[in-house]
């Protein structure tokens, strides 16, 4: 069955709630992106990704770029694997607190103007046809997929570290979790 690699972006130059709404990578993040590329290219021929997809945000695009260059492909931008949408009525400065609250509960308990349980299903749906693909995404989006596949209702079902690689398989209609990626050793995102 075709493999799909769900990769969290590298360490950004700023964190949510900071002065930059769309930070790129810092030096550590750039090194992590290169290490992710090396890992993916070191996989056996039958498991190596052929395509690269990224969230629209800079930290994911910059993490994806070394892998895409090495594979000789363009990065496909897909908002379907992007960051969890902030409620429209919420000020940007309040996003950090909103996320902290969301992380404490279940998908159906997130307050906002969306059905966030439906949003997590849409993230998983965006991956069904992505076999042989490296997908560069976000902490919450990766948790959306993993929690759905493991039957976990909590928003944070595991803590993927920067450039953590979660392995899935897809038949084009369903996803199967093969292996969760490396978890962060601290509570700091």
> Which pLDDT tens digit goes with each residue over 3-61?
999 999 999 988 755 555 788 899 999 999 999 999 999 999 899 999 999 999 999 99
Q: Which of 42, 36, 40, 38 is nearest to 60 (CA)?
A: 36
Q: How many whole angstroms from its chain centre is CA 175? A: 15
Distance CA 49, CA 83 (A): 23
Residue 186 has pLDDT above 70, yes or no: no
Residue 93 has pLDDT above 90, yes or no: no
Work out the pLDDT band at 95, boundaries 50, 70, 90. Answer: confident
Q: Where are the alpha helices (DSSP H) in the chain?
A: 27-41, 58-71, 95-103, 116-127, 139-150
Whole-number pLDDT of residue 122 = 97
C-beta of residue 163 within 8 angstroms of C-beta of residue 36: yes
Which residues neighbour 164 within 8 Å (Cβ) at sequence distance 6 or greater?
7, 8, 142, 181, 182, 183, 184
Whole-number pLDDT of residue 18 = 53
First to last CA, the chain: 32
C-beta of residue 47 within 8 angstroms of C-beta of residue 85: no
Residue found by looking up tokens 């769900």 in the block: 6
Residue found by looking up tokens 């790129």 in the block: 24
Residue 74 has pLDDT above 70, yes or no: yes
Work out the pLDDT band at 103, boundaries 50, 70, 90. Answer: very high
Work out the pLDDT band at 97, boundaries 50, 70, 90. Answer: very high
Among positive and negative, which fits the CA dihedral 104, 105, 111, 116?
positive
Q: What mean pLDDT do residues 91-118 have? A: 92
With H, G, I as helix, E, B as strand and everything else as coil, classify residue 106.
Answer: strand
The per-residue pLDDT for range 125-180, each reduced to its tens digit, is 999 999 999 999 999 999 999 999 999 999 999 999 999 999 999 999 999 999 99
Whole-number pLDDT of residue 24 = 87
Whole-number pLDDT of residue 96 = 87
Residue 78 has pLDDT above 60, yes or no: yes
pTM (2 d.p.): 0.94
With H, G, I as helix, E, B as strand and everything else as coil, classify residue 160.
Answer: strand
């Amino acid at each position: 069955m075709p493999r799909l690699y769900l990769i969290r972006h590298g360490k950004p130059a700023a964190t949510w709630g900071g002065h930059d709404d769309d930070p790129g990578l810092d030096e550590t993040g750039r090194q992590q992106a290169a290490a992710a590329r090396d890992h993916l290219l070191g996989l056996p021929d039958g498991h190596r990704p052929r395509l690269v997809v990224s969230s629209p945000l800079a930290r994911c695009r910059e993490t994806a770029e070394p892998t895409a260059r090495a594979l000789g492909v363009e990065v496909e931008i897909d908002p379907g694997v992007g960051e969890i949408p902030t409620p429209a009525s919420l000020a940007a400065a309040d996003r950090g607190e909103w996320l902290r609250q969301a992380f404490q509960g279940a998908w159906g308990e997130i307050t906002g103007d969306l059905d966030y349980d439906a949003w997590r299903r849409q993230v998983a749906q965006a991956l069904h046809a992505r076999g042989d693909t490296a997908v560069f995404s976000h902490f919450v989006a990766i948790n959306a997929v993993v929690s759905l596949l493991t039957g976990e209702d909590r928003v944070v079902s595991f803590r993927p570290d920067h450039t953590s690689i979660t392995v899935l398989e897809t038949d084009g209609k369903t996803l199967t979790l093969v292996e969760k990626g490396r978890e962060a050793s601290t509570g700091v995102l």
